[in-house]
């Protein structure tokens, strides 16, 4: 008969020691010790998720696609705090396209490729039948247009569908002073614009340029969205009866316009003291060209480019220690080094616009519209379709959000 072998005893099994047996120990431990809660998954933790989403590229399809995932993601990317961090992380927002003037009102054309291309129907700038709008400027996500019939300005944010109307100052009545140009920009200043992030809900300034009835004096006036009032007039003399219809260029803390008669010079509006001044052009620049553009110079200062038949001639303005400013030849770029087009096509080139943030110039040619990066001299042919050849291009950069009418049109 087989003998039963008893289970070996250990000190933990001894009933004399007063300790429970192993199975009793397991039961009691389960009752006395609660298991720690599992750590939240990254996509369910708003802080971790926000850190992940902040690293996504700022393309036009990014935030709308994120918003379409679920309600919690939509809520996160719609939060002003997140948008400010996203904007601050991506200091240079993508160039989405250009606004152009067509048949009395502005229209939008995208320069992005799928899936980031944008239909012009998504950025409508409202207008009533019979109104005649002038497109004056596009900057920091806003568009500035002027209604000649009503003599009022409209500052529109296409991404949020927000718009603000303000009447022209009484001095700019078309008799004493007639309106010839203007600019819109973020009201937080150059440093604040790069730090506070989202400009859609921030303050803005409207800078208005006019020519006096004697046509020998230029005037400027500034509207603040914070005070909702126009400031005092400032003025400067100009050499000839002149006008300026080209878009402004923002360099540092000043706005610049080239006068139509280039010999009259350049208008400079200093945003700090809000003063207007006229600058001379480079003395050795060919004034018979009539195709110029204010650009960002290599050192971050003021530059100017003249487009000839086969080259770009560029100058930069240098200020000496004694405060005296002079124009210095910067460089000459042969157009065959940029586009590789035939001389016949290059001879028909016209400057159509300039993107100051990317230092990109837009050229019209018989072969299509070209974007040229002035630092790298890389170029891209946008083609002929959808790009008008009879008007100026106003580059549009913006951060897409998941707010308002925009999102419903994009997702």
Write the DSSP assignment of 124-171 as a string of letters. -----TT--EEEEEEETTEEEEEETTTTEEEEEETTTTEEEEEEPPTT
Buried b (16+ CB within 10 A) or exposed e, 365-404: bebbbbbbebeeeebeebeeeebbeebbbbbbbbbbbbbe
Confidence at residue 168, expressed as pLDDT on a 0 to 100 scale: 94
Is residue 392 within 8 Å of 407, Cβ to Cβ?
no
Residue-wise pLDDT for 52-90, tens only, equals: 888 988 887 888 888 888 888 888 888 878 887 887 787
Is residue 204 within 8 Å of 188, Cβ to Cβ?
no
- 68 and 126 fall within a common domain: no
* DSSP at 282: P
CB atoms within 10 A of CB 125: 17
Domain end marker among 19, 51, 83: 83
- 50 and 131 fall within a common domain: no
Confidence at residue 344, expressed as pLDDT on a 0 to 100 scale: 65
In a domain, 285, yes or no: yes
In a domain, 48, yes or no: yes
**CATH number of the structural domain spanning residue 332:** 2.120.10
Domain end marker among 83, 116, 134: 83
Mean residue pLDDT of the chain comes to: 80
340-346, long-range: CB < 8 A, 24+ apart: 341/365, 341/367, 343/309, 343/310, 346/309, 346/310
- 353 and 217 fall within a common domain: yes
Confidence at residue 77, expressed as pLDDT on a 0 to 100 scale: 85
- 358 and 403 fall within a common domain: yes
Question: From CA 106, how far away is CA 111, in angstroms rounded?
Answer: 16
Confidence at residue 174, expressed as pLDDT on a 0 to 100 scale: 79
- 104 and 157 fall within a common domain: yes
Question: From CA 387, how far away is CA 375, in angstroms rounded?
Answer: 24
Confidence at residue 10, expressed as pLDDT on a 0 to 100 scale: 45
Residues (pLDDT < 70) of the chain are 1-43, 103-104, 126-129, 189-201, 241, 290, 339-347, 388-390, 400-411
How many CA atoms does the CB half-sphere of 186 hold within 13 Å? 20
- 75 and 170 fall within a common domain: no
Confidence at residue 347, expressed as pLDDT on a 0 to 100 scale: 65
Taken as a whole, the chain contains a residue count of: 411
Q: What is the pTM of this model?
A: 0.80
- 55 and 189 fall within a common domain: no
- 100 and 63 fall within a common domain: no
In a domain, 326, yes or no: yes
In a domain, 7, yes or no: no
Pick from 232, 182, 247, 183: nearest CA to 211: 182
In a domain, 258, yes or no: yes
Confidence at residue 204, expressed as pLDDT on a 0 to 100 scale: 94
Longest Cα separation, the chain: 132
- 230 and 360 fall within a common domain: yes
Confidence at residue 198, expressed as pLDDT on a 0 to 100 scale: 52
Q: Which domain holds residue 137?
A: 91-410
In a domain, 20, yes or no: no
Is residue 178 within 8 Å of 187, Cβ to Cβ?
no
| Overall domain count for the chain | 2
Residue 44 CB partners (closer than 8 Å, separation 6+): none
In a domain, 123, yes or no: yes
In a domain, 217, yes or no: yes
- 68 and 183 fall within a common domain: no
Domain end marker among 83, 115, 142: 83
How many CA atoms does the CB half-sphere of 128 hold within 13 Å? 7
- 56 and 151 fall within a common domain: no
- 247 and 280 fall within a common domain: yes
**Phi, psi for residue 345 in degrees, rounded to 5:** -75, -45
């Amino acid at each position: 008969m087989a003998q039963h072998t008893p289970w070996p005893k250990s000190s933990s099994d001894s009933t004399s020691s007063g300790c429970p047996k192993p199975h009793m120990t397991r039961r009691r431990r389960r009752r006395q010790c609660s298991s720690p809660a599992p750590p939240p998954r990254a996509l369910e933790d708003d802080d971790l998720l926000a850190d992940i989403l902040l690293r996504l590229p700022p393309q036009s399809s990014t935030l709308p696609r994120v918003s379409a995932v679920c309600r919690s993601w939509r809520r996160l990317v719609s939060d002003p705090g997140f948008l400010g961090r996203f904007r601050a992380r991506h200091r240079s927002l993508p160039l989405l396209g250009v606004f152009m003037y067509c048949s009395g009102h502005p229209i939008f054309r995208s320069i992005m490729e799928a899936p980031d291309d944008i239909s012009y129907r998504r950025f409508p700038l409202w207008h009533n039948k019979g109104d005649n709008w002038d497109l004056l400027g596009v900057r920091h996500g806003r568009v500035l247009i002027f209604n000649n019939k009503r003599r009022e300005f409209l500052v529109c944010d296409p991404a949020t569908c927000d718009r603000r109307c303000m009447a022209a100052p009484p001095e700019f009545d078309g008799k004493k002073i007639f309106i010839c140009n203007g600019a819109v920009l973020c009201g937080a200043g150059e440093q604040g614009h790069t730090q506070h992030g989202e400009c859609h809900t921030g303050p803005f300034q409207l800078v208005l340029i006019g020519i006096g009835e004697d046509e020998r004096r230029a005037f400027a006036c500034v509207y603040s969205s914070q005070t909702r009032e126009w400031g005092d007039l400032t003025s400067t003399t100009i050499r000839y009866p002149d006008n300026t219809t080209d878009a402004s260029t923002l360099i540092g803390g000043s706005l610049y316009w080239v006068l139509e008669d280039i010999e009259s010079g350049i208008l400079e509006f200093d945003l700090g003291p809000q003063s207007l001044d006229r600058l001379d052009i480079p003395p050795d620049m060919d004034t018979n060209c009539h195709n110029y553009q204010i650009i960002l110079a290599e050192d971050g200062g003021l530059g100017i480019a003249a487009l000839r038949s086969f080259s770009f001639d560029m100058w930069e303005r240098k200020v000496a220690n004694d405060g005296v400013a002079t124009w210095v030849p910067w460089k000459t770029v042969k157009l065959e080094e940029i586009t590789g087009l035939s001389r016949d096509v290059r001879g028909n080139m016209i400057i159509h616009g300039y993107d100051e943030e990317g230092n990109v110039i837009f050229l019209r040619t018989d072969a299509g519209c070209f974007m040229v990066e002035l630092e790298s001299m890389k170029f891209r042919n946008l083609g002929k379709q959808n790009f008008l050849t009879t008007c100026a291009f106003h580059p549009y950069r913006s951060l897409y959000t998941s707010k308002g009418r925009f999102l419903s049109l994009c997702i």
